[in-house]
């Protein structure tokens, strides 16, 4: 009898595993920075309503376009609102909308991709051509159409963004499924007569989950940029709700003499995007999926 | 002749573990390679044989580093050389032939060009001289029509031809030492025998020293003058090939030789218990202690040194080797297996089964025309009795796995029927089969790494069939899983393990347990032992036989290895290009008269015995497609009698001992020809 070869590798429960992955992510500087930034933004989004020094919608003609000072740390905008207050509040909608949007994208994109990869044949052909057709439509135009028809509420934005950003995930999930589909354990499950659903759930998802999650994390940062672009164009969050895209849009005409009103939201938005990107990369590495294209030697 | 060209002295190679511990993969290895000598390094996977061979050309894999010792090539230490100095030695003085030549050749450069590159690098010849040299080299490795061969691309060559090209490239720099890392492992039996014959010829012809690394004692026996046996990073036995193979005086080598199935022996080979220790897990005592039946308390505490025994010209690392010196007659024994009841009913019938991979063209489909007149597998008629083990044997492309897949329902048959129990026709579409039929036929795959879901624990893996077929859950499910693990001799604690935490043999046991979980009537075994080490292979074969005797299961056993088939099967069907050549009780198929193809296969089997040389009767051509008319073996048959072989499908003839042969030559005549 073969004796127990591995004694060190103890069984870990899921929580410990997640903690282990976080630890691996934080062990490299880029991962640590990414995690810190994301964590900072999430915490800020949670507590900002309680720490905001001013009312975000209080218009005051007396304090229009003031430069940064001890009273107004980031200055004030053209309506006399405190830029610091609006900046720390400005990520809340974006974070919520894109977080749930990515979840929806992951769910439908991932499942459809896995399904297509598994069944193949004509169904796969048809679905993939439809996805290709959608990929060829400029998403921002389509989004504008949807938003102008249905309004800009979060109930519309979340599923709409989720739909448009899920198309790419379909391809990734399908490719990841193709990687495992030819393996004997799937053939074995088929020969035993398991249903497609059972094969997807038991055999495929555990093996493609990591690749799809990483892709989802990357999509999140893209979606954030997309959402801010919508706001910038005036189709995202409606005023007076503070939002980075909207703030940049409002202040861009004043950039030459009131730079503060535009810099703060830009820093907020780009730092969050960079943070998510770094985190996604570290996440991929911690899971053993190397996205960089380094030569093996 | 006695000049030493490379000598390894006290070499240890290791790596640092994550916990900062130094773990050695090679431990204190010393050996010498003499001029003109072929040394075989043999060991199971993980024994450090490749690490040693690569160190001999000054190459150490990334992450590893030498801990101590040296590798002297012509009294210069390769491990201390700069990469510039090594460049001058590699290719010119030491050349390497890789395992998979198909991957080692650049796919989009012509063969001639690639050899020319090697010549440019290692010689000072001019263009015309080089061109001459290329055809000379191609001629030397016996490739057909060397002039045109130089203008072919690697993919236009068969596996054996690619390996020959790799040999030609290695010879381009006229090296003093050739390093061969499992050069014939991926090849078909007949091709393997041809390549080995070529290597032996080249060693003799050019006087090049060779280091031949392999896990296959059969191949090593054919080429080596001297054999080095590695175990857990140490040399455990070293000496002249004949001595090592005929009178092994180390218990590991002894057990290894016993666990190889042999053509001359019916019955199963004895298995060696346990598996090789992981690097770093041995702290004191002999590394073979756990598996040794000669072990004493002394072996547990003290590690034996490599001792030179003058009268045998052998180095051995064992305290108790003397007990083995006169025991060697026992090498030729095997475990007899219970033969099945031949009166039993037929459980599975293949009737005129044909399978085609060609897709029907759209118009042919409309006109309901059958487009492929020459399917991959054609006219297979086999009746399988309950409780027997029937083996399908053939080289790659013989259609043996294809037939297995169609029985499992994974491939649709084009023609014919598969009948199961009382002549009930099984649908060729998996989805149309009823759940009970699906349960009754189970599959075990070649490679357990791929057949077990890496993200499932053993418990999850085994619960899949139990949940699906028997709707078990909770305590009952757990009890059944423990029972299954017990059946395949694994403890309860394996339940929470992942496949990556198991050794190859343990993984295959789990795969066997999963197949038996369904309480099947028939188990289809697809090359189940070919990914395993020899000693583990014997254990798995014994396990399969034991389970069959206990549970009365029927096996359809696919393999390319005639010796393994001889050991396990009751009946053998020999296939060539998807057509049956011969079928009969296994003890008779291995006797003459037999089909010319069986004869070729039997001749090419490599036995771990330097006295049994393979007989090369047919060319090792690879045929892409079965011939449209006549006998399937017409292209390679050494006994072809004329046009009749090309035009007519040969009739079945039944020999006096019950094996059926499909040949145009009269069976009695065949018998006298093969004497």
Residue from A24, A122, A183, A184 whose CB has the most chain B CBs within 10 Å, to mutate: A184
Residue among B98, B215, B266 nearest B532 (CA): B215
Report the chain A residue with the minimal C-alpha distance to residue B514.
A188
- CA–CA–CA angle B629, B633, B638 (5° rounding): 130
What is the average per-residue pLDDT within A268-291? 83
Question: Does pLDDT of B176 surpass 60?
Answer: yes
Binary contact (B514, A188; C-beta < 8 A): yes
Report the chain A residue with the minimal C-alpha distance to residue B444.
A188
Neighbouring C-alpha atoms within 13 Å toward the C-beta of B9: 12
Q: In A, which residues are within 8 Å of B501 by CB distance?
A: 5-6, 9
Structure tokens at B267: 């019955």
Binary contact (B273, A191; C-beta < 8 A): no
User: Which band of pLDDT confidence, cut at 50, 70 and 90, is reported for residue B329?
Assistant: low
**The pLDDT of residue B330:** 66
Q: Cis before residue B644, ω within 30 degrees of 0?
A: no
H or E segment to which residue B181 belongs: strand B177-181
CA–CA distances in Å: residue A69 to residues A73, A76, A77, A80, A286:
5, 10, 13, 14, 43
- Compute φ and ψ for A131, nearest 5 degrees: -60, -45
What is the b/e burial string over B647-657, where b = at least 16 CB atoms within 10 angstroms of the residue's CB? eeebeebebee
How many helical (H) and strand (E) elements, i.e. helices and strands, does chain A have? 11, 0
What is the average per-residue pLDDT within B652-658? 82
- Compute φ and ψ for B207, nearest 5 degrees: 70, 20
User: Which band of pLDDT confidence, cut at 50, 70 and 90, is reported for residue A107?
Assistant: very high
Question: Does pLDDT of B172 surpass 80?
Answer: yes
The Cα of A18 is separated from the nearest Cα of chain B by a number of Å equal to: 15
**Residue that the structure tokens 């990591």 belong to:** A210
E strand residue ranges, A36-126: none
Report the chain A residue with the minimal C-alpha distance to residue B505.
A2
Average pLDDT of chain A to the nearest whole number: 82
Structure tokens at B409: 């329902």
Residue from B436, B462, B464 whose CB has the most chain A CBs within 10 Å, to mutate: B464
Do the domains spanning B1-93+175-190+205-246 and B346-581 agree at the CATH topology level?
A: yes
Q: Pick the residue with more confidence: B635 or A105?
A: A105
CA gap A134, A132 in Å, rounded: 5
Sheet holding B346-355, edge to edge: B377-385, B346-355, B415-420, B424-426
Q: In A, which residues are within 8 Å of B275 by CB distance?
A: 2-3, 5
CA gap B642, B350 in Å, rounded: 31
A294 touches chain B (CB under 8 A): no
User: Which band of pLDDT confidence, cut at 50, 70 and 90, is reported for residue A294?
Assistant: very low
Binary contact (A192, B278; C-beta < 8 A): no
Percent of chain B with pLDDT over 70: 95
The Cα of A188 is separated from the nearest Cα of chain B by a number of Å equal to: 7
DSSP calls for A76-97: B-TTS-BHHHHHHHHHHHHHHH
Model confidence pLDDT, tens digit, residues B506-551: 899 999 999 999 999 999 999 888 888 888 888 889 899 988 888 8
Question: Does pLDDT of A293 surpass 70?
Answer: no
Using left for φ > 0, alpha for ψ between -120 and 50, and beta otherwise, residue B274 falls in: left
User: Which band of pLDDT confidence, cut at 50, 70 and 90, is reported for residue A95?
Assistant: confident
Binary contact (B468, A194; C-beta < 8 A): yes
Which of B240-254, B272-286, B609-623 has the highest average model confidence (pLDDT)? B240-254
What is the average per-residue pLDDT within B613-619? 76
**The pLDDT of residue A174:** 92
CA gap B57, B77 in Å, rounded: 10
Percent of chain B with pLDDT over 90: 13
Q: Which burial class, exposed, middle or buried, applies to B659 when counting CB atoms under 10 A from its CB (0-12, 13-18, 19+)?
A: buried
Give the fold, CATH level 3, of B346-581: Rossmann fold (3.40.50)
- Name residue B214's beta-bridge partners: B42
Question: Dihedral through CA B214, CA B217, CA B221, CA B227, nearest 10?
Answer: 70
Using left for φ > 0, alpha for ψ between -120 and 50, and beta otherwise, residue B489 falls in: left
CA–CA distances in Å: residue A181 to residues A186, A195, B349, B660:
6, 14, 30, 40
Residue from B281, B435, B450 whose CB has the most chain A CBs within 10 Å, to mutate: B450
Give me the residue from A2, A4, A184 closest to B451, CB to CB.
Answer: A184
Using left for φ > 0, alpha for ψ between -120 and 50, and beta otherwise, residue B460 falls in: alpha
The domain ranges of chain B are 1-93+175-190+205-246, 105-174, 255-273+284-336, 346-581, 591-675
Torsional sign, CA A12, A13, A17, A23: negative
Contact B130, B121 (CB under 8 A): no
Question: Does pLDDT of B433 surpass 90?
Answer: no
Average pLDDT of chain B to the nearest whole number: 85
Domain B1-93+175-190+205-246 indexed as CATH 3.40.50.300? yes
CA gap B247, B85 in Å, rounded: 42
A149 touches chain B (CB under 8 A): no
A4 touches chain B (CB under 8 A): yes
E strand residue ranges, B186-316: 209-214, 226-231, 234-240, 307-309, 314-316
Structure tokens at A114: 């896995």
Give me the residue from B278, B468, B493 closest to A5, CB to CB.
Answer: B278
Question: Does pLDDT of A297 surpass 50?
Answer: no
- Tell whether ipTM is more than 0.90: no
H or E segment to which residue B577 belongs: none
User: Which band of pLDDT confidence, cut at 50, 70 and 90, is reported for residue A8?
Assistant: very low
CA gap B335, B542 in Å, rounded: 9
The Cα of B454 is separated from the nearest Cα of chain A by a number of Å equal to: 8
The Cα of A114 is separated from the nearest Cα of chain B by a number of Å equal to: 16
Q: Which of A38-52, B232-246, B623-637 comes out lowest in average pLDDT?
A: B623-637
Model confidence pLDDT, tens digit, residues B77-115: 888 888 888 888 888 889 888 888 778 888 889 889 999
Structure tokens at B235: 């040399």
DSSP summary character for residue A61: G
Q: Cis before residue B452, ω within 30 degrees of 0?
A: no
Structure tokens at B394: 């053939």
What is the b/e burial string over B387-423, where b = at least 16 CB atoms within 10 angstroms of the residue's CB? bbbbbbbbbebbbbbbbbbbbbbbbebbbbbbbbbee
pTM over 0.95: no
The Cα of A183 is separated from the nearest Cα of chain B by a number of Å equal to: 6
Give me the residue from A5, A183, A297 closest to B450, CB to CB.
Answer: A183
Binary contact (B433, A193; C-beta < 8 A): yes
Binary contact (B409, A183; C-beta < 8 A): no
Question: Does pLDDT of A290 surpass 70?
Answer: no
Model confidence pLDDT, tens digit, residues A203-253: 899 888 888 888 888 888 888 888 888 888 888 777 777 888 888 888 887
What is the b/e burial string over B520-555, where b = at least 16 CB atoms within 10 angstroms of the residue's CB? bbbbbbbbbbebbbbbbbbbbbbbbbbbbeeeebbb
Give me the residue from A4, A6, A188 closest to B443, CB to CB.
Answer: A188
B-contacting residues of A 185-214, CB under 8 Å?
185, 187-194, 198, 202-203, 206-207
User: Which band of pLDDT confidence, cut at 50, 70 and 90, is reported for residue B331?
Assistant: low
**The pLDDT of residue A10:** 44
Question: Does pLDDT of A12 surpass 60?
Answer: no
What is the average per-residue pLDDT within A137-147? 85
Q: In B, which residues are within 8 Å of A3 by CB distance?
A: 274-275, 290
What is the average per-residue pLDDT within B158-185? 87
Question: Does pLDDT of B557 surpass 90?
Answer: yes
Domains of chain A with CATH codes: 25-286 (1.10.3720.10)
Give me the residue from B446, B450, B455 closest to A206, CB to CB.
Answer: B455
Q: Pick the residue with more confidence: B477 or B296?
A: B477
Report the chain A residue with the minimal C-alpha distance to residue B501.
A6
**The pLDDT of residue B341:** 57
Question: Does pLDDT of A11 surpass 60?
Answer: no
**The pLDDT of residue A2:** 37
Residue among B364, B305, B372 nearest B578 (CA): B372
What is the b/e burial string over B89-110, where b = at least 16 CB atoms within 10 angstroms of the residue's CB? bbbbbbbbbbbbbbebbeeeeb
């Amino acid at each position: 009898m073969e004796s127990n070869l591995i004694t060190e590798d103890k069984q870990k429960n899921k929580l410990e595993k997640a903690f282990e992955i976080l630890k691996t992510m934080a062990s490299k500087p880029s991962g640590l920075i990414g995690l810190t930034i994301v964590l900072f933004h999430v915490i800020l989004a949670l507590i900002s309503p309680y720490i905001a020094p001013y009312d975000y919608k209080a218009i005051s003609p007396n304090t229009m376009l003031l430069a940064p000072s001890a009273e107004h740390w980031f200055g004030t905008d053209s309506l006399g609102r405190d830029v610091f207050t609006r900046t720390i509040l400005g990520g809340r909608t974006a974070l919520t909308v894109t977080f749930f949007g990515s979840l929806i994208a992951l769910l439908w994109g991932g499942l459809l991709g896995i399904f297509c990869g598994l069944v193949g044949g004509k169904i796969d052909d048809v679905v993939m051509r439809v996805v290709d057709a959608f990929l060829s439509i400029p998403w921002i135009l389509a989004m504008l159409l949807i938003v102008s028809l249905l309004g800009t509420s979060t109930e519309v934005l979340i599923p709409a963004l989720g739909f448009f950003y899920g198309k790419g995930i379909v391809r990734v999930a399908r490719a990841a499924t193709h990687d495992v589909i030819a393996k004997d354990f799937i053939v074995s499950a088929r020969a035993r007569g398991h249903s497609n659903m059972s094969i997807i759930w038991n055999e495929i998802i555990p093996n493609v989950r990591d690749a799809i999650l990483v892709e989802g994390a990357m999509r999140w940062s893209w979606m954030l940029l997309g959402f801010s672009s919508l706001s910038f164009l005036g189709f995202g969050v409606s005023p007076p709700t503070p939002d980075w895209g909207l703030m940049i849009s409002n202040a861009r005409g004043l950039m030459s003499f009131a730079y503060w009103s535009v810099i703060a939201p830009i820093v907020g938005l780009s730092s969050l995007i960079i943070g998510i990107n770094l985190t996604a990369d570290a996440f991929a590495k911690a899971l053993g999926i190397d996205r960089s294209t380094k030569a093996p030697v | 002749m006695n000049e030493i060209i490379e000598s390894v002295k006290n070499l240890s190679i290791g790596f640092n573990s994550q916990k900062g511990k130094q773990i050695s993969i090679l431990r204190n290895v010393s050996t010498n390679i003499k001029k003109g000598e072929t040394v075989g390094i043999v060991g199971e996977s993980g024994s450090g044989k490749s690490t040693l061979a690569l160190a001999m050309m000054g190459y150490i894999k990334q992450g590893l580093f030498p801990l101590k010792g040296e590798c002297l090539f012509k009294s210069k230490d390769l491990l201390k050389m700069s990469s510039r100095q090594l460049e001058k030695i590699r290719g010119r003085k030491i050349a390497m032939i890789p395992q998979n030549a198909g991957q080692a050749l650049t796919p989009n450069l012509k063969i001639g060009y690639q050899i020319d590159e090697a010549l440019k690098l290692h010689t000072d010849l001019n263009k015309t001289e080089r061109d001459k040299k290329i055809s000379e080299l191609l001629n030397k490795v016996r490739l057909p029509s060397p002039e045109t061969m130089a203008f072919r691309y690697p993919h236009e060559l068969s596996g054996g031809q690619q390996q020959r090209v790799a040999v030609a490239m290695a010879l381009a720099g006229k090296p003093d030492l050739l390093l061969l890392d499992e050069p014939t492992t991926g090849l078909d039996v007949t091709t393997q025998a041809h390549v080995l014959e070529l290597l032996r010829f080249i060693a003799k012809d050019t006087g090049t020293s060779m280091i031949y690394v392999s896990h296959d004692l059969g191949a090593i026996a054919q080429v080596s003058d001297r054999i080095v046996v590695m175990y857990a990073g140490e040399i455990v036995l070293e000496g002249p090939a004949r001595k090592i193979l005929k009178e092994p005086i180390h218990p590991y080598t002894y057990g290894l030789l016993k666990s190889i199935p042999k053509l001359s022996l019916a019955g199963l080979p004895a298995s060696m218990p346990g598996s090789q220790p992981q690097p770093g897990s041995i702290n004191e005592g002999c590394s073979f202690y756990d598996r040794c039946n000669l072990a004493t308390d002394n072996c547990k505490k003290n590690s034996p040194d490599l001792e030179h025994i003058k009268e045998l010209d052998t180095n051995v690392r064992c305290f108790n080797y003397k007990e083995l010196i006169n025991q060697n007659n026992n090498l030729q024994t095997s475990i007899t297996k219970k033969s099945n009841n031949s009166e039993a009913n037929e459980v599975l019938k293949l009737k005129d089964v044909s399978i085609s991979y060609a897709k029907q063209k759209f118009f042919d489909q409309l006109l309901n025309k059958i487009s492929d007149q020459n399917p991959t597998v054609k006219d297979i008629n086999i009746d399988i009795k309950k409780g027997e083990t029937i083996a399908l044997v053939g080289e790659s492309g013989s259609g043996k796995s294809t037939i297995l897949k169609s029985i499992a329902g994974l491939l649709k048959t084009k023609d014919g029927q598969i009948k199961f129990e009382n002549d009930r026709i099984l649908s060729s579409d998996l989805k149309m089969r009823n759940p009970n039929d699906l349960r009754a036929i189970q599959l075990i795959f070649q490679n357990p790494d791929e057949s077990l879901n890496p993200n499932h624990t053993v418990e999850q893996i085994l619960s899949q069939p139990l949940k699906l077929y028997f709707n078990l859950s909770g305590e009952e499910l757990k009890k059944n899983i423990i029972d299954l693990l017990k059946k395949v001799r694994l403890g309860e604690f394996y339940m929470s393990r992942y496949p990556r935490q198991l050794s190859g043999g343990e993984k295959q046991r789990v795969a066997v347990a999963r197949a038996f979980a369904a309480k099947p009537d028939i188990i289809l075994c697809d090359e189940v032992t070919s990914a395993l080490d020899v000693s583990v292979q014997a254990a798995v074969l014994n396990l399969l036989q034991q389970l069959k005797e206990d549970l009365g299961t029927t096996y359809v056993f696919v393999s390319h290895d005639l010796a393994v088939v001889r050991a396990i099967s009751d009946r053998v069907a020999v296939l060539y290009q998807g057509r049956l050549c011969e079928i009969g009780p296994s003890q008779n198929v291995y006797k003459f008269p037999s089909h010319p193809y069986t004869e070729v296969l039997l001749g090419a089997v490599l036995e771990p015995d330097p006295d049994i040389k393979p007989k090369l009767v047919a060319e090792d051509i690879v045929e892409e497609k079965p011939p449209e008319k006549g006998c399937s073996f017409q292209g390679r048959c050494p006994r072809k009698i004329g046009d009749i072989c090309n035009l007519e499908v040969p009739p079945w003839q039944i020999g006096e001992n019950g094996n059926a042969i499909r040949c145009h030559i009269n069976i009695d005549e065949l018998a006298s020809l093969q004497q």
